[in-house]
Structure 1
């Protein structure tokens, strides 16, 4: 009986154990199923919004993509459209999944201050699959003046905004210019057809003829025609008229190309940019620039010899972040994000891309990706920023924060920050600061504001506001930031620099009581700042700068490592370029002005960054130079390729920053070249230097072009030069020639000091002599041709004709001191 009872208890316990185990399994599976069920998955849908374009001169040009936000004038530099003589602008519509029900338009000045006209577009013509509208522009606009046109399309489901600058002119030479640009691009795919291109080439020994990543007129004929790759144009090409003023134009052509190698097809994204100048006798190609980037794919030989081959590409389109344990490598190649897993079974996963099945949308590349962190468990945190051309946010511009969950193979959208801003301005701000700490605080810089976001609670907190770009700098890792006191009236009178370690949230103030201090930049994580003597804080140099008396370099804890100082000397035109600090040494002269002594450079012996240690370049047969990432040896194994399985919007939130843009404490100049924004600078000299080599241009705060390298006639003589010299002399009496830019009456006075003479001669084309200093005396350049310039004295009486070479040397010896007048 006792034994029977014991056996019964054992059987009961055994069966109970099985039941409890089954119950636990059931609840675990149910919980996981429930957890999976409440996750909200989505997909990045294909592009759906209509695209407008102009059909002119036999070409389809200026594709205008839809904006959900009102962009104001933020998209103003995207393109310019030349109006027909009767001003009735016809726009064609690729409707995709949205039908145009009604449309209206607005025309404003470029700075938005004036509304010129607005109205309904009554003509919507539907012919089968083709839809077009006619914008009935009235005669309220002036010829040869640019305006902003906004077209508002109502599809019933959405209201969409489209933007282009417009120009009504009698000097429409765009057909001839477009013929040259499009013909050049198409000819490069046929070496026989391309023989005519030889007249435009300026081949030299400096150009790199072993890469297809970046090509210009200095490359060889063989390299411009795609070397020996047998490259072919793939699909449609898209043309955008970026600039036009009646003589000068910039034209951008975007297209795909492809080639086959041992039975495997490789696809490339390409962008050709042309700077062209019209002349009745011929059209000049002032500059040609082609960027090519291979679309990373699953080629069988992409991983070998400890190299993951990314292919043809440019450094600015590639970024690499490795986890601390070296098990994972996240890399962005040509706006596509991948993760490579090292180990016994190497695997590459495409995490994120905005590529579409429609080449028009795919080639609209006004977005990019920034990798924030690569964690040891394979999770990747990253930002998508710019214009979003597909998915639930299609048509918006802004910044989206994503996390790739490696274990779930899921891309998780955390939040979007909508910003009615151009892609390249957003890019500029993201490159200045976008840092994610280990405890998931995301710090960013936008328009004079340093702010943080707790990525767990989505709480936004302000670190500092009211900054100008020149008052702020971040380290190479972006872990450290430094900025001047935003409460000061200008950049030269701050007694405080605040240094923050964002990772540890440690703030240190660098204070001076008897001098002023300026942020100059970082060398990796070392802060560089300048000290201004209190007595010199109002004393400008001829090129609109207040010099510093000492350059300080501090470590990450703000301990001083180096002080660069010389008795009796000051330092100006300071530029921090990686490990180099470049500047001019000057001294006070008898008359109270500064005198140039020499240019100097301080070079750091710091090591290169981590990315440059794993990203390299190698030669690959007919491809030439290709980019690769250094990986562990995989032997005879093959890499497994896959894509992220899920896209989750469960956490997806919308964050409105509600921050104001800091007002500029100094005038600024905006630099553009080859169809792209290159940044803003405090002086005309610095802006022009950014774009000079690319035949670029500089605009002021109102959007007016104030210097353009390509827009200069070969011969100019100022009419009634004596009268204009008298006029200018009266103007100079009320001007401070050391200021960067001034508006006096109906004139703009520009400090063009630091420009080379050839570039400064541009201003004679605007109808007024160029003021040139020789031994502190004012002279006027009143004429030039291909060999000589004419120099006129301050009274407008005595003229001297000088050879251009001699004149250049003369003005260089006087530090190229020029003052320009624009009516």
Structure 2
């Protein structure tokens, strides 16, 4: 009996020990994010990639979409199709199943289906499918269309988008010559001897920054463009993206990696090069060249030191956030998110679609953005990812995903996924403006000019601020407070996104209030007497503010600026400085003229964090970026973790319905040289931005509003020249009426323009009411050089002068403009520089139009 009891006791003890060991093992595995029942690694990429074939190699890698996309907002790449309307393609299946391959050809806005054809002319070889496409004779030369590859895969129907344009002559766009030059230039930069041949294309001057390899451009020195003394041991074959092409210019982007040797370590960098070139029969011109170089953070190398984490050659403006005490912080390096917890000596690679040593083009595609929303003392991180989802459960979709990283479980869990039908670039642009998470689990983001509140617990979303429009809202630096106002300009609305508390600032009787922006967390606004509001010649109101106020988040007045006899027309915030644009009334009080600017300085010191992002100079590396930590890092004992993702049943998708009348509230999209997009409600602001970018402006219908360069050597609108010579009422009408009358007659419309002006209608309103098949563009403030784009297309440009006169710009050549003076009907040439100075001194008040459809 006693022996049996002993045996039972021993068995129970062994059983208890076994249970304890299993429990400890399970807990250990769970805390390392490795529990197969609850977490798993992010699923690998599965979708094929399509490329197009040229004599210079494969171009335009296209990535697949499994979700619905609004074609009118897709831009991406473009491909010129030869005279016979045929071209070749290649599909890298990566071993996946592909069938029912075909294509759709649509109008650029996606509304009209021109062709829907299955592809039968192809061959399969291991992981590659190669084939040929023959477009039908249903397209117009030099007109962009949207080509959509369609195929069935194990994941469902996948679509791939690219623009195509038919060059009927077969050699109008000279793509092969442009590609040959760009690829040759890029390759030559790795050899100072070979690069000498291309040095004549550089414009090295004081505009170039020769202190960092992170950003290099056409103005940088020869040494900087050829990588200085960096020991680059190899580079991958560039991926080629044709982002824009016209008869005169082409924009091409290269993406590749370099290996950089530094002592015993070799570090990998992502490199992006953007080129804008112009091809002529005489030679090829390099108009723009920009290169960025960013370190692919390697936590296994020497990157973590005693008091710093080195991010190598990198943009210093990285996404970074720390906990209140600074014990924990998170940062984004080259679009991958990391978290460091000093109290536990842990570094976690939380999120990223690509691995540092993985050269899969599908995971490296850079059409998404990560924002850190919150970091707490325990090292938990809330973050959001917006754009194209390269892999995982949302692979091939566009949207915003909000995640929680649980430090104790070392696991990442999706909270919600907001689906979007927009292009990744446009979604990223809005996401970059506003992405905020409140303490009560509400997430705020901007989509198509509306601010949305998304309940992370209830998985639902709604708009909280509608139709605020570009320029009518401002967001504080922390994104905690948003301010906006209605069209009547009688009040400002403010919302604290953390508390949902709203407040209002109202103007006094007889005044308007103008929202100007935030200086950090302090609100800046102006006050205008109603009687001081005057219209310019285009009919646009000039709100001349007699007073400017700055208030803190509690409504306390910090600054009141009210100069005697001087009015404020605008402010620009630059750090802790407020630049103020000012005017005074003219002698008869009927208008305003510019006077000297002023400024206000914020004397409050900006609080620095416990951990800081710093820039250091390091020999041949020039400038590098590093995070300087408040406490010592025990780098030899550092634990490096790679969390898994928590599995869950069903989905956590949030559907948001977005509706905007694009005719009443049109937006303008500026695509810069690097493909980034910025969105404006004002065409003038869009053209100004694109002129500097350089880039293009498109509409909600995906049609061009403006293109940088791409001009003929000369052009003159002869129809208006002849009309001016025979114009009978030249001396009886005012100059503005004459210009309007000629423009309307040129468009086949007759109106009593002088009577309309006498009744108070502005120039823009008259044109909008008369040109029903055109989009009227108020391009006030844009330089004369940007107006030549329209004249080049036989579209006249009206310039309104401050003295009440007007002129028509109807032609140009390399040295002159061709102007029409309505005072006498004379059409004459005037020097290009003199014309630019003439109109600039008068404020560059231009107005024109583009035909639509």
Q: TM-score, normalised by structure 1?
A: 0.89
SS at match of 1:808: helix
Separation in 1 of the partners of 2:294 and 2:479? 27
Q: Deviations over 1:151-173 (max 9, x none)?
A: 22112541101111110123131
1:758 aligns with 2:785: yes
Separation in 2 of the partners of 1:668 and 1:609? 38
Question: What pairs up with 1:405-416 in 2 under 5 angstroms?
Answer: 405-416=406-417
SS at match of 1:805: helix
1:523 aligns with 2:505: no
Alpha carbons of 1:821 and 1:640: their partners in 2 closer, same or farther (altered >3 Å)?
A: same
Q: Which residue of 2 aligns with 1:656?
A: 654
Q: Which residue of 2 aligns with 1:807?
A: 835
Alpha carbons of 1:534 and 1:366: their partners in 2 closer, same or farther (altered >3 Å)?
A: same
Q: Which residue of 2 aligns with 1:352?
A: 351
Separation in 2 of the partners of 1:361 and 1:571? 51
Note the C-alpha offset of 1:610. Answer: 4.5
Q: Which residue of 2 aligns with 1:499?
A: 494
Q: Which residue of 2 aligns with 1:71?
A: 69
Note the C-alpha offset of 1:768. Answer: 3.9
Question: What pairs up with 1:631-646 in 2 under 5 angstroms?
Answer: 631-632=629-630, 634=632, 637-638=635-636, 640=638, 642-646=640-644
Note the C-alpha offset of 1:331. Answer: 0.9
Alpha carbons of 1:693 and 1:349: their partners in 2 closer, same or farther (altered >3 Å)?
A: same
In terms of mean alpha carbon deviation, does 189-198 or 120-129 score higher? 120-129
Contact 1:766 1:822 in 2 (8 A): no
In terms of mean alpha carbon deviation, does 130-139 or 791-800 score higher? 791-800
Separation in 2 of the partners of 1:513 and 1:634? 56
Note the C-alpha offset of 1:419. Answer: 1.4
Note the C-alpha offset of 1:250. Answer: 0.9
Contact 1:466 1:663 in 2 (8 A): no
Q: Deviations over 1:82-129 (max 9, x none)?
A: 123222343211112422210233222222332323233333432444
Separation in 2 of the partners of 1:804 and 1:172? 28
Note the C-alpha offset of 1:260. Answer: 1.1
SS at match of 2:211: coil
Q: Which residue of 2 aligns with 1:101?
A: 99
Q: Deviations over 1:720-777 (max 9, x none)?
A: 5513656863436378435699481454443332122233333321224443344432
In terms of mean alpha carbon deviation, does 503-512 or 577-586 score higher? 577-586
Note the C-alpha offset of 1:638. Answer: 3.5
Q: Which residue of 2 aligns with 1:423?
A: 424
Alpha carbons of 1:788 and 1:631: their partners in 2 closer, same or farther (altered >3 Å)?
A: same
1:684 aligns with 2:683: yes
Q: Which residue of 1 aligns with 2:581?
A: 584
SS at match of 2:319: strand
Q: Which residue of 2 aligns with 1:4?
A: none
1:511 equivalent among 503, 506, 514: 506
SS at match of 2:71: coil
Separation in 1 of the partners of 2:90 and 2:198? 33
In terms of mean alpha carbon deviation, does 582-591 or 333-342 score higher? 582-591
Separation in 2 of the partners of 1:66 and 1:102? 15
1:793 aligns with 2:821: yes
Contact 1:543 1:753 in 2 (8 A): no
Separation in 1 of the partners of 2:342 and 2:611? 17
Separation in 1 of the partners of 2:475 and 2:766? 26
Q: Deviations over 1:683-716 (max 9, x none)?
A: 3332233232332222233322232222234444
Alpha carbons of 1:709 and 1:197: their partners in 2 closer, same or farther (altered >3 Å)?
A: same
1:737 aligns with 2:763: yes
Contact 1:346 1:634 in 2 (8 A): no
Separation in 2 of the partners of 1:243 and 1:428? 20
Separation in 2 of the partners of 1:581 and 1:756? 25
Contact 2:296 2:334 in 1 (8 A): yes
Q: Which residue of 1 aligns with 2:706?
A: 707
Note the C-alpha offset of 1:808. Answer: 2.9
Note the C-alpha offset of 1:146. Answer: 0.8
Contact 1:258 1:266 in 2 (8 A): yes
Separation in 2 of the partners of 1:174 and 1:495? 55
Q: Which residue of 1 aligns with 2:141?
A: 143
Number of matched residues? Answer: 801
Contact 1:74 1:420 in 2 (8 A): no
Separation in 2 of the partners of 1:613 and 1:800? 64
Separation in 2 of the partners of 1:72 and 1:499? 32
Question: What pairs up with 1:21-40 in 2 under 5 angstroms?
Answer: 40=38
Question: What pairs up with 1:332-343 in 2 under 5 angstroms?
Answer: 332-343=332-343
1:552 aligns with 2:580: no
Separation in 2 of the partners of 1:402 and 1:741? 50
SS at match of 2:548: strand
SS at match of 1:197: helix
Structure 2 residue runs of 5 or longer lacking an equivalent are: 728-738, 745-752
Note the C-alpha offset of 1:429. Answer: 1.9
Question: What pairs up with 1:15-164 in 2 under 5 angstroms?
Answer: 40-73=38-71, 76-164=74-162
SS at match of 1:192: helix
In terms of mean alpha carbon deviation, does 442-451 or 367-376 score higher? 442-451
Q: Which residue of 1 aligns with 2:451?
A: 450
Q: Deviations over 1:199-231 (max 9, x none)?
A: 111111342212110000110111101111132
Separation in 1 of the partners of 2:84 and 2:513? 58
Q: Which residue of 2 aligns with 1:7?
A: none
Separation in 2 of the partners of 1:352 and 1:572? 45
Alpha carbons of 1:612 and 1:25: their partners in 2 closer, same or farther (altered >3 Å)?
A: closer
Separation in 1 of the partners of 2:667 and 2:579? 21
Contact 2:56 2:180 in 1 (8 A): no
Question: What pairs up with 1:366-377 in 2 under 5 angstroms?
Answer: 366-377=367-378
Separation in 1 of the partners of 2:766 and 2:380? 49
Separation in 1 of the partners of 2:378 and 2:776? 59
Question: What pairs up with 1:144-543 in 2 under 5 angstroms?
Answer: 144-169=142-167, 170=169, 171-298=172-299, 300-304=301-305, 306-316=307-317, 318-343=318-343, 346-356=345-355, 357-485=358-486, 492-512=487-507, 514=509, 515-534=511-530, 539=535, 542=538
Q: RMSD value over aligned CA atoms?
A: 3.3
Q: Deviations over 1:287-337 (max 9, x none)?
A: 011111111113654344633211111134x21111112211211111111
SS at match of 1:315: coil
Separation in 2 of the partners of 1:585 and 1:47? 56
Contact 2:723 2:742 in 1 (8 A): no
Note the C-alpha offset of 1:28. Answer: 11
SS at match of 1:311: coil
Alpha carbons of 1:442 and 1:741: their partners in 2 closer, same or farther (altered >3 Å)?
A: farther
Note the C-alpha offset of 1:609. Answer: 6.2
In terms of mean alpha carbon deviation, does 419-428 or 574-583 score higher? 574-583
SS at match of 2:238: strand
Contact 2:426 2:677 in 1 (8 A): no
Separation in 1 of the partners of 2:532 and 2:681? 19
Separation in 1 of the partners of 2:650 and 2:503? 35
Separation in 1 of the partners of 2:279 and 2:558? 55
Contact 2:231 2:262 in 1 (8 A): no
SS at match of 2:391: coil
Separation in 2 of the partners of 1:781 and 1:200? 33
Alpha carbons of 1:283 and 1:608: their partners in 2 closer, same or farther (altered >3 Å)?
A: farther
SS at match of 2:237: strand
Note the C-alpha offset of 1:132. Answer: 2.8
Separation in 1 of the partners of 2:785 and 2:150? 44
Separation in 2 of the partners of 1:483 and 1:20? 70
2:603 equivalent among 591, 602, 605: 605
Alpha carbons of 1:784 and 1:463: their partners in 2 closer, same or farther (altered >3 Å)?
A: closer
Alpha carbons of 1:287 and 1:435: their partners in 2 closer, same or farther (altered >3 Å)?
A: same
